[in-house]
Amino acid sequence: MRVATLGFHHESNTFAPVPATLEQFLASGPDVGDGLVAKYAESQATLAGFIEAAAADADVELVPLVYFDLNPMGTITAEALEAIAARLLSALDENGPWDAILLALHGAAASEIHRDADGEILERVRRLVGADVPIAVTYDMHANVSARMVDCATVVNTYMTNPHLDPRLRARECADLAFRVVRGEIHPVMALEKPPLAVNILRQGTTDSPMAELVEMAAQAATRPGVLSVSIAEGFPYADVEEMGMAFMAVTDGDADLAGEIARELASAAWEVRAELEGDGISVDEALRRAATADAHPVVLLDVGDNVGAGSPGDSTHVLAAAQRLEVGGLFHSLCDPASVAVCADAGVGATVELLVGGKTDDLHGDAVAIRGVVRMLDDGKFEDAGPTHGGFRFYDAGPRALVHTQDDHMVLLTSHPRGNTSRAELISAGLDPLAQPIIVAKGVHSPRAAYEPIAAEMIQLNTPGCTSADVSVLDYTYRRQPMFPYEPDTRY
């Protein structure tokens, strides 16, 4: 059984100021052939699940082709999407024929021309390999699922945890289903149900109610006779596309009615708790005062408005500026600021530097903040984390970094690439003990939880401005469905 694995992974924030260009995709990859296996086989990411499933099946010869992955940012340029599609399709065409395709997609990619970029890629793959070759796709739980993304595949599933701790497990399950299709053991049919419902990013944690109950309901439905898989996509509210919002999918062995029934049951259950799926964060000042007077530490402040994992630039200064104004010390705070890194590198470790850091992308994420301090560390920004991390990633690259200990007792980690704070190894690799930091500012919402919940005395979601603001009323949508809850509160389903 010759099986290809390949993919394209991007979460596109169409409100973010920096577009995802071909140059950026090429700078971060792609991973090809054995290099793909070397990078992902020992991780917990989607590709690891595909690799594991193939290794466990003596009948399968897995051929790793090519994988593009870029940190979330703005809309993908037309040039970038066409170049990526051409590379994926040529790899499939030149190395075929295939008995099955294992495709790793995010599900919330949007380009200048094709707002449903994942569906566009998948449709082109389907046209190339024909109707009879099984295509299995595992999506991120934040996918904005379109009918095309389901119709062009043979079997699909999503992660079912947020923070995403199960990509490897879910991808292995998806791959195993594809192998069973090739053997003629199953004949999957799929149903997709999309209520007119968007979930606030603050309410998307799968260990929090009511998402926890919906996930459990899906798990129970998956145990019913004839059911092969059940998935929930929470959706990505920062992509202005027609498919934005929640989606529910069921895969059964030849029973279309059962698949439709399960998908509708889950959608109806979510609709009943729609008011509980909305939320708001805490003001920066209130959160800093609470953290400064806390009895136990570290306190983790989640900078929702600068959620790098959702496409923000990573240079928001709202929290750091407020800490200076309120004279609250003890923050660990990272900022993407390659220019300031270069100044620190020229000065050297041990030098005292005066810098204007952050706030250089746009006005939405704050103004540059003046700091004075000592350069404590310089490195290339590469580190590894074999423990539980959001998305299952193991290898990280923040570009050249500098750690500055400021005169008002902040540890400011300056990076050259935007980097969400999803790994404690980020601090450890910079010479810091995470447990010794009184206040950790983590740019994210749920993605930092896998790393920091085990050690945090408290985690506080902040209502910070930015292109990933929890207040979605500030986002100017053009293409989303209407009516839709909560934007139109009287929406019916």
CB neighbours (10 Å) of residue 219? Answer: 11
- Whether omega for the bond prior to residue 30 falls within 30 degrees of 0, making it cis, is yes
Establish if 342 belongs to a structural domain: yes
- Whether omega for the bond prior to residue 225 falls within 30 degrees of 0, making it cis, is no
CATH number of 39's domain: 3.40.50.2300
Q: Determine the length of the chain.
A: 493
Phi, psi of 33 (to 5 degrees): 55, -130
Rounded distance, CA 196 to CA 484, Å?
5
Domain span at 171? 2-277
CB neighbours (10 Å) of residue 374? Answer: 15
Establish if 13 belongs to a structural domain: yes
Residues 248 and 367 in one domain: no
Residues 273 and 304 in one domain: no
Establish if 211 belongs to a structural domain: yes
Q: Which residue has the tokens 């705070």?
A: 333
Task: Tell me which H or E stretch contains 118.
Answer: helix 117-129
Q: Which among 233, 261, 277 is the end of a domain?
A: 277
pTM: 0.91
Distance from chain centroid for Cα 159: 11
Residues 239 and 288 in one domain: no
Looking at the 3D structure of the chain, how many domains does it have? Answer: 2
pLDDT reported for residue 388? 85
Rounded distance, CA 116 to CA 210, Å?
28
Establish if 486 belongs to a structural domain: no
Rounded distance, CA 379 to CA 341, Å?
10
Residues 377 and 249 in one domain: no
Q: Which residues contact 304 (CB under 8 A, 6 or more apart)?
A: 201, 202, 281, 444, 445, 461, 462, 463, 464, 466, 468, 469, 470
Rounded distance, CA 32 to CA 52, Å?
18
Q: Which among 277, 308, 343 is the end of a domain?
A: 277
Per residue in 265-284, pLDDT (tens digit) is: 999 999 999 999 998 889 99
Establish if 478 belongs to a structural domain: no
Rounded distance, CA 314 to CA 413, Å?
12
* Three-state secondary structure readout of 363-411: CCCCCCEEEEEEEEEEECCEEECCCCCHHHCCEEECCCEEEEEECCCCE
Give the CA radius of gyration of the chain. 22
Residues 268 and 304 in one domain: no
DSSP three-state, residue 105? strand
Residues 292 and 187 in one domain: no
For the chain, report the end-to-end CA distance as a whole number of angstroms: 44
Residues 251 and 294 in one domain: no
Q: Which among 242, 277, 312 is the end of a domain?
A: 277
Establish if 115 belongs to a structural domain: yes
Q: Which residue has the tokens 């590709």?
A: 47
Residues 169 and 261 in one domain: yes
Estimate the crossing angle of helix 117-129 against helix 78-95, to 10 degrees. Answer: 20
pLDDT reported for residue 218? 98
Establish if 482 belongs to a structural domain: no
Residues in the chain predicted with pLDDT less than 50, given as ranges, are none
Residues 301 and 265 in one domain: no
Residues 261 and 337 in one domain: no
CB neighbours (10 Å) of residue 91? Answer: 19
C-beta separation of 139 from 107 below 8 A: yes
C-beta separation of 297 from 332 below 8 A: no
Residues 136 and 102 in one domain: yes
Q: What is the DSSP letter of 76?
A: B
Establish if 197 belongs to a structural domain: yes
Per residue in 457-481, pLDDT (tens digit) is: 999 999 999 999 988 878 899 999 9
Residues forming beta bridges with residue 61, ordered by sequence position: 2
pLDDT reported for residue 210? 97
- Whether omega for the bond prior to residue 454 falls within 30 degrees of 0, making it cis, is no
- Whether omega for the bond prior to residue 195 falls within 30 degrees of 0, making it cis, is no
Rounded distance, CA 361 to CA 349, Å?
27
Residues 340 and 221 in one domain: no
